[in-house]
Amino acid sequence: MPLNEIAASLYAWDLADETVERCLDNLQALAGVNSAYLVGMMHKEKRPLHARFYPHNPVRKYYTPEDSRAYWRPDPAAYPGRIKPLTSDRDFLAGTDWLEVLIKDARSRGMKTGCEISHTVIDAQVAREQYPDVLQRDVFGHVVGTFEAIEAQRALPCLNNPDVAEYLAGLVTDLVGRHDIDFIQSCLVMFGSGYSRSNTVGGSAVRASWNEVLATTTGGCFCDSCRDKAVAQGLDWDAIVAEVRHLNLVYTGRDLEQAHEGQLLRESNYSEAELLLENAAFASWLAFRRRSIDDLFALINKAAHDARPGIDFRYNTYMARPELAGLNFTSAFQHVDSVRESDYSDQLGTAEGVAIKRAKLMKVRRALAYDKPLLAALGVRPNATPETLRASVKAAVDSGCDGLSLGHYDGATMERLRAVTEGVAEWEGLESSWIHQPDRDRS
Ligand SMILES: [Zn+2]
């Protein structure tokens, strides 16, 4: 099948600084982009992410966004509950519906359009002050954050909390019901998966794994909503809490006996299967998280299709090991219309990195079955090379992808964008490559 969709993401500040015309001119001409989406709700993450400074922004060297702001104009009627989307307080962004800015120009070029709700949907500081009860808790009751150190005071909402579910459905209804978008993409962080993990680059499936499964005991969630839902499903919550507390201490080594036990395990040939067989309550909690994430996908699917039946609900993966956040591809993907596999291992700049990407694509392809589009992310940023980008297009072709999705224009170099077009031509990714053309093929 051809790589029919070549998508690219843009941020509101890219549009403000470079103009939507310049961004889309470059993406269209250099990389063959025919689908543009706004990261409509963005988490607190310095941009560009990997490089220290922007390679081509004419206004600023770098940007530090506010936490979880909406860059469209939200409709208050879509949010009847107590959690409401926040918009930007920055002068150069405030008051403009950046999604409409992108849609208007993209449609004039005949492009597809979309909007992403990225990793987080609440401002952590606001939530800690105004509705701390909706936040994920670890097994000792501490608020669970995203990827940063606990000192960063971040926070994740619990996806089993009814107020959070209402808010999420509101975001989806607002975006799909009131904007001319073809797809709504979710890259939500799910259950906190524990400390010290880099989840976007690398991470092969063969890495020693039982210790990473054990790390989930430092993640979420053990809030009241989770307890009530688990008990209603017949789980022994007290047994789960007791077992996970013990395993948490073994993992962190915060007390002498448990630290000693952790040392023995790490010097032994212990396995992931043994960990799960030995700790049945812990294993039942992991399965409970999986069912909870399935419910989340069903909720977003329903809100999106209730707002507009023809909408494409696209999931954007974000982790090397999504199962540690509760996501099982096979069950959750029953509720999606397409998937963007967000691996950026091409940025390792090596053939091994491309092999990691290929393996992840194969895993999604199998779980998604063959009738739903799969898009391979390409990291068009300086850590990737034109060679790894062209090889990544081959990995997409090898794994039966239906499109590509570039991440992210703000950090891209023009040479990396050109490598996308070159890779698509080299590996014959478009149907036009498969049809003899006298002009092109005259030797
Ligand atoms: Zn919870």
Would you say 6 and 112 are in contact if contact means Cβ atoms under 8 Å apart?
no
Residue 276 in any domain: the answer is: no
235 occurs within a structural domain = no
Q: What is the DSSP annotation of 383-426? A: TS-HHHHHHHHHHHHHTT-SEEEEE-GGG--HHHHHHHHHHHHH
* Range name among 165-169, 207-211, 242-246 with the lowest pLDDT average: 207-211
Cβ-based neighbours of 59, under 8 Å, separated by 6 or more: 16, 17, 18
Neighbour-count burial of 381, counting CB atoms closer than 10 A to its CB (0-12 exposed, 13-18 middle, 19+ buried): buried
Q: Return the pLDDT at 200.
A: 44
Please tell me the predicted confidence (pLDDT) of residue 319.
86
Q: In percent, how much of the chain has pLDDT > 70? A: 95
Which CATH number fits the domain that encloses residue 301? Answer: 3.20.20.80
The answer to whether residue 269 is domain-embedded is no
Give the C-alpha separation, 183 to 195, whole Å: 32
Q: What is the pLDDT of residue 300?
A: 97
Angle at 357 between CA 353 and CA 359, to 5 degrees: 115
- Reported as half-sphere exposure (CB side, CA atoms, 13 A), residue 292 has a value of 28
Q: Is the pLDDT of residue 219 over 50?
A: yes
Q: Tell me if 124 is assigned to some domain.
A: yes
The predicted pLDDT at position 207 comes to: 44
State the residue range of the domain holding 145: 5-207+290-441
Q: Are strands 403-407 and 338-341 parallel, antiparallel or unpaired?
A: unpaired
Whether 243 is covered by a domain: the verdict is no
pLDDT in the model for residue 403: 98
Ligand 1 center from residue 284 Cα (angstroms): 15
Domain for residue 234, yes or no?
A: no
Q: Which two tokens mark 373?
A: 């589009």
Say what angle helices 280-307 and 162-178 make with each other, to 10 degrees.
30
- Distance from the alpha carbon of residue 149 to the mean position of ligand 1, in angstroms: 20
**Would residue 394 count as lying in a domain?**
yes
- CB-hemisphere CA count at 13 Å for 130? 11
Q: List residues, by chain if needed, whose CB lies under 5 Å from ion ligand 1.
A: 158, 160, 221, 223, 225-226
Q: What is the mean pLDDT of the chain?
A: 94
- Stretch among 78-82, 267-271, 324-328 having the lowest mean pLDDT: 267-271
Distance CA 20, CA 170 (A): 27
Does the pTM exceed 0.75?
A: yes
Query: What is the spatial distance between Cα 289 and Cα 14, in angstroms, rounded to a whole number?
Result: 36
Distance from the alpha carbon of residue 231 to the mean position of ligand 1, in angstroms: 13
Closest by CA position to 245, among listed 217, 225, 264: 217
Mean pLDDT, residues 12-38: 98
**Cα of 253 from ligand 1 centre, angstroms:** 25
Residue 308 maps to a domain: yes
CA of 32 to the centre of ligand 1 (A): 43
Q: How close is the Cα of 303 to the center of ligand 1, in Å?
A: 21
> What is the percent of the chain with per-residue pLDDT over 90, rounded to a whole number?
88
Phi, psi of 406 (to 5 degrees): -85, 135
Domain count for the chain, please give it. 1
Ligand 1 center to residue 294 CA distance, Å?
15
- For residue 242, the number of C-alpha atoms closer than 13 Å in the C-beta half-sphere is 6
Cα of 157 to ligand 1 centre, how many Å? Answer: 8
Question: Three-class SS of residue 53?
Answer: coil
| 204: pLDDT strictly greater than 70 | no
Q: Does the pLDDT of residue 421 top 90, yes or no?
A: yes
